[in-house]
Structure formats: C-alpha cells, structure tokens
Structure 1
C-alpha cells in the first residue's frame, strides 16, 4: 500500500459521513482477501508457544512492511512483539494481535484468526486515514504469550499503553455451537481474573524400599495439596475456579522424591476475589507441607485481571456489524470462567474484546485439538474478516466522532477500578 504524505485535513466530526469506511476500508479487506488468507494459514500451520512466536513475529512484520508500514520489531524489549503506526494528530486507536499457540495442540484458541483480524482492521483503518486525510492515528501491537505468559502485562509495564489511547481493540474466535437464534458473536465478552503460581515442595530423598523412613516424600506433599484443593472446591462459589497439574513428580519409583513442582491457576470474577481465593489455596499448600514435613515455596507468575466491558464501544460494534448482516449479542450477563491478559489492558485504556463464532464439531470448545482444526478452515477465516470490518469501523468512529470517543472514555472512568 502506498502511504500518502503531507498535511491532513481537520474536518469536523459531522463532515465525514459514517458510511465512508465501507467504501474505502472494507474494500481494502476484500481486495486483499487472498493475502490475508495466506497470512492466516501460514501462522496456523506454524504454531508457536508463548515467547517463542518467531515465525509469527517475522511473518506479520514482513507483511506490514510490504504494505508500506514502518515496523518496530522486538518492540518494548520483548523479542516476539512488534509495533506499527500510521497517521498523525487526532486520537489514537490500537489493535492488539495475539498469535501464540498451545503446547501440543497448536492454535486451539484460534490466535491465528485474532492476528489476521487485527492486522486487517489496522490496514483498513490506515487506508481510510490515508485516503480521506483525516486526523488520527492507528497502531497495531503484536502481543505475544497470552496463553499464560502475560505478554500484555509485560507490555503494559514496558509502557506500550502509556499514550493517550482512545480505544484498544481485539476479537477472539469461539465455537458457533454456543450461539442460538442466529447470533454470531458477542461484543461485551466478560472474563474473570486469574492468579497463577507454581508451588514447589522440597523433602529428602531415600531408598523407597530399603529405608523409606529416612525420606521426606515431596510427592506426598503434592498429592496432599491436590486433595486439599479438591476439598476446598465444595466451599467455592460457582463462578470461581482452581485447577492445577503436577509438572515434576519425581524420577523413579524406588527413590523417595525430594522435589516436586505444581502449576496452579486461581480464578474469580474480580481481582480482589481472586486474591482472597488465592489465600485459601495457599493454606491448602502449606497444610500439605506441614503434614508431610516438606518445605513449600511459591513461584508467582503474572496475574490476569478481569475483563472490563465498555458499553459505548460494544454498542457501536453491534450496530455496525448489523449493517454487515451479523447479529451480535451486546454483552454477557454472566462472565465466562476463563481469563485473558486483555483484562489488564482494560484497566489501562478504554478497551474492546469481542468474540466471533466459527464452525466447530459438536461439543468442541477452545483448547481442544478439533478447535485447532476448525481455526484453519476458510469459514473461520471469513468470520474473522467480517469481524475485522466491524473493528475497523469502530476505530473509524472513535477517530471521527467525539461522542463515541468521549462516551468510551466516560464508560472507562465510571467503572470502578
């Protein structure tokens, strides 16, 4: 894409008809449909786990550079993050692109679709800014390691969201089987907070047959901790979750394990409730250590905050997607019991995190091998491109309509932090 240079016009909000983007930006998405499909497929066929998304980072960066954008690779000190900007003056809209996969099962959360949709929305809005010479800036930010690695949390800490951002946006695929009555997505996708930590137990090794009485069994501590958490669940609220795995359970059966390590997620609808539940979980771990004579140690990871819904941005998305023939639920009444680091972003700037439906086999949801297969289908890509058009239109309205921008900021400020 040839990027125009020179001064931009400064029209009033009412000077640009709201229908202009479908005739400019949407065509950009349609005209480049093959390129976006190839981009989607390449990322899907080369799945990479958190902070190892070297192929996705390079592929997306090169794609944007070929369109004429200047890309900052390895942005904000993260090796697999990138950033590109276009425009000047006015407000700033940021599209977040996720592209990490899950260990062993690939893009079973469809992050290839997220990356492609955000890229298409960015290119579409940049083309509109260029064509109309309107004031405003658009940014795409590559955000690695959403799957437990807290990439956006690190980007926040590094200053990636310190600018006066009027809206940060992204959308996530979800199984179409979860929708009825012709709905194809949700604008206000509510998600819960999550605290993550690894728990280490240290005991004393001994021969398991010859002199087990001289050992202190760290595996017993891990098993007891797992049992304690299972007992805790009966006293948890229905919207709370604790789940974990034993990552290191010992070596061979005839040696008393002197070290074990577990990985746990503690989730609740709000960050404060997640912290309270974490206190109870730690009591379970410490009781297991005391009962077995082991020492316990915690290795905390980056925590995910609950996802705050911005009513203004959601309504804009619902209205514009209706023009595309899509029927979108305004927002969830009950939060989904999963988490995302986009929740942390929603505490920094006005944010939008929608979901779009893709066809999957019956009884299949995210984090399943069959969802990974579905995320590579043309029907899933087409859904992502329709979503990209909706996000591009929303970005355009934020840049050109003060009522939308001010409404989004007001909603952000009104929600208790």
Structure 2
C-alpha cells in the first residue's frame, strides 16, 4: 500500500468519524438557523450562532470579516495549498429557508471540521478555511468577498453544495441519484429602473401630465414582445415596486426591478442591451426620462463546473455509499454568486437531494419545511463527508490539485 493510498484510507475513516460524532451539535446549529431565518446582510443571529459554535470548539473566528458585518472566517493549517468552504445562511423574505441555506451552512461547517481533523492526523502541510458568505439570494456576498480578497491567489479549490428537489435537476428521478456533482447555473444581471414624468389631474387636464406609469407599462410590453425572439434558455422578469399613488393623479414616478438571465455572462450582456433598448423605448414613447438605480447586488456570472473536482467528489460519495450523477445535460435556470468565484478559481458546487413531496419546489414554504427535517440534516452530513474528502485529496494529492487547476485554465466550460 502506497503512502498516499494509506493517507486517503485513513482520512476517510477520520472524516466519517468526525462528522458522525458532531451530528447532534450540528443539528442544533442547523435548527437555530432554520428557526430564525434572516434576509441578505441581516444574518446577525446566524453569524453569531456559527461563530459561537466554532469558538466553543477552540477555533479563533474572525467575525464581521472583510468589511461585511455578517461574514466570518476561520482557518486551520500552515503551508501548502488552501481550500475554502463557503457557508451560506441567508433566507428569503416571507418564505424563510425556502432555498435550504441552513443546510448549506451545516454541510460546509461539518466538511470544514472533518477536513481539519484529517489534516491534523496526516501531519502534512495544507490550509482549510471556512468562509461565511452572506447575501447569496440578493446582494452578491461572494462577489463582494472575492473583491475584498477573501479568496487568496493560492486558493486550490472553493467548495460548497446546495440542497435541491430531485425533479428540478434529474429528468428521470427513478434512477435513484442522491446528488449531482457538476451543478451549473446561468448568469444574471439585476438592476432597477426609474421613470420620471409629470403629475397632473387625471380627469381635468391629463394632457398636462407625463405618465411614468405608461412608460413602465410600455417598457414591460416591449420586453414581452422581445421574449418571442430570445433563446429558450434566456429569461427576463420584472416587478414594479412603485406604480403611482391614486388613479386621479397622473403618476410622475415609477420604479421597477429587473432580472436578465442567460447561460453565459457574454450572452447575458448582449440580452441586457436589448432589454435596455425596450426600456428606453417606453420612456421615449411617453416623454419620460429613465434612470438606472444602483442595486446592492453585482451581476452573477454563470456557474461553471470543474471536471477533476466533480469526478473526485463522485468517487468519494460512492465510497460513502451515495450515488451521485456527474453532470447535467444543460444548466439549471437559476443563478448564484458562486459563479463569480468559479470564474476566478477551481470551484466545486454540487447539489444534494432533500427528501420532499413530488410537487415541492425551491423558493417555497414547502421546501423551507423540508429543509428543517431530520432527513434533510442527514443528507447534508452525507454531503459533508464527500466534500471533506474532496478537500483532503486536493490538499494532499498534488496531482488532483494540478489537474483541477488545469481544468480551470483549459476546460473552463466543461
């Protein structure tokens, strides 16, 4: 038996034992997050819950890291390469953890702790970091952390996994897959529009008004016409947050939020220009002025997959008795700020299946309920074991790290 083979065999045992021993404590963290959902950049209780838990285990936690009040960072090890686990914990307004971010945090925390223990016992150089990444749903926390240097240049891999419903990622759920390695998402632009007109009495002298509501309706109608001529994978959606005050006053101001999505950021950029042309047409037709208001969220790049990291994860999950599909036929029509990380470093973003009814979907109260179950917790910890072993192999097997870097450089669209 080679030294490397012995190291990995020993690491698998350590990873499993570590996660199993922490199951109850991790469940308390999971339930604390699930029972107190917090929206983007307001995840103060989640931040403190996780930081307190890690400090109780003897770790030195950097709170409010990189200028974000609800981010944190904890690291173990010296020398060698660095692997970063990303922990999400923000929720959706009015729905709670309808995207299951309590499970993402739980699986990443467990994977970090298991990797730490395996690294300790190996006696080898290497560093593993757990990074708290707020505001994935709206705000682009990872993109902001990326800009702030939370992912150093020597990052060998960034790792996380997302809970999903089986029917949303598998065309044939009867095959019994329990997860997916190479999850792919599309790119998105998020922006706000403001139409500025002139108020007037809507009955007495409407000709003296400039109707900002008409501008918004015209813009939306033009985009609706555009939809016939965009690719099937493209998406444009909007809501009007301010549409006027009372019907007998010509609205002088309206505001809307728009999302433009496409499989790649290059295609999203081109579609954005077409959408903006429709918006400008609405303004021109009604005599209004249109301005674009900044949002807190940067654009989300499309999430790409790393072939080497995905293949290693499938192997390690199989060693743990879990059947995981390697890759999808096409990207899922959703977006994440982990895409920004994937365009900068070798990245693994898998998916694990949460037991739920056949009609349950993400971003729903039903999924939020499923995300709090014991069954979902168990699946998250199975995933943590696979992610931990993926990290261990990146840190201790130079060929894995080298191949992941090569795939990032030469095969980025795999």
Normalising by structure 2, we get a TM-score of 0.96
Name the CA shift for 1:165/1:379 in 2 (closer, same or farther; >3 Å).
Answer: same
Matches within 5 A, 1:217-236: 217-236=211-230
Q: Distance in 2 between matches of 1:266 and 1:406?
A: 36
**1:114 corresponds to which residue?**
104
1:204–1:215 contact (8 Å) kept in structure 2:
yes
Does 2:85 correspond to 1:124?
A: no
**2:50 corresponds to which residue?**
60
Choose the corresponding residue for 1:326, options 318, 322, 327.
Answer: 322
Does 2:245 correspond to 1:251?
A: yes
**1:194 corresponds to which residue?**
188
1:48 deviates by 0.6
2:84–2:151 contact (8 Å) kept in structure 1:
no
1:13 deviates by 6.5
**1:407 corresponds to which residue?**
403
Show structure 1 runs of 5+ residues with no match: 1-11
RMSD, matched Cα: 1.4
1:196 deviates by 1.1
- What secondary structure, in the 3-state scheme, does the structure 1 residue paired with 2:38 have? coil
Does 2:34 correspond to 1:44?
A: yes
Q: Which deviates further from its counterpart, 309-318 or 224-233? A: 224-233
**1:311 corresponds to which residue?**
307
Q: Distance in 1 between matches of 2:397 and 2:330?
A: 31
2:186–2:333 contact (8 Å) kept in structure 1:
yes
Q: Distance in 2 between matches of 1:16 and 1:232?
A: 59
1:13–1:401 contact (8 Å) kept in structure 2:
no
Q: Distance in 1 between matches of 2:99 and 2:128?
A: 26
**1:368 corresponds to which residue?**
364
**2:254 corresponds to which residue?**
260
- What secondary structure, in the 3-state scheme, does the structure 2 residue paired with 1:371 have? helix
- What secondary structure, in the 3-state scheme, does the structure 1 residue paired with 2:7 have? coil
Deviations 1:263-291 (A, max 9, x none): 01101111110000000000010000011
Normalising by structure 1, we get a TM-score of 0.95
Q: Distance in 1 between matches of 2:93 and 2:20?
A: 33
Q: Which deviates further from its counterpart, 114-123 or 127-136? A: 127-136
Q: Distance in 1 between matches of 2:398 and 2:147?
A: 29
Q: How many residues align?
A: 406
Q: Which deviates further from its counterpart, 295-304 or 398-407? A: 295-304
Matches within 5 A, 1:80-229: 80-178=70-168, 179=170, 180=173, 181-229=175-223
- What secondary structure, in the 3-state scheme, does the structure 2 residue paired with 1:17 have? helix
Q: Distance in 2 between matches of 1:201 and 1:194?
A: 23
Q: Distance in 1 between matches of 2:15 and 2:324?
A: 21
Q: Distance in 1 between matches of 2:317 and 2:412?
A: 29
1:90–1:137 contact (8 Å) kept in structure 2:
yes
- What secondary structure, in the 3-state scheme, does the structure 2 residue paired with 1:321 have? helix
**1:385 corresponds to which residue?**
381
Matches within 5 A, 1:9-20: 14=4, 16-20=6-10
Show structure 2 runs of 5+ residues with no match: none
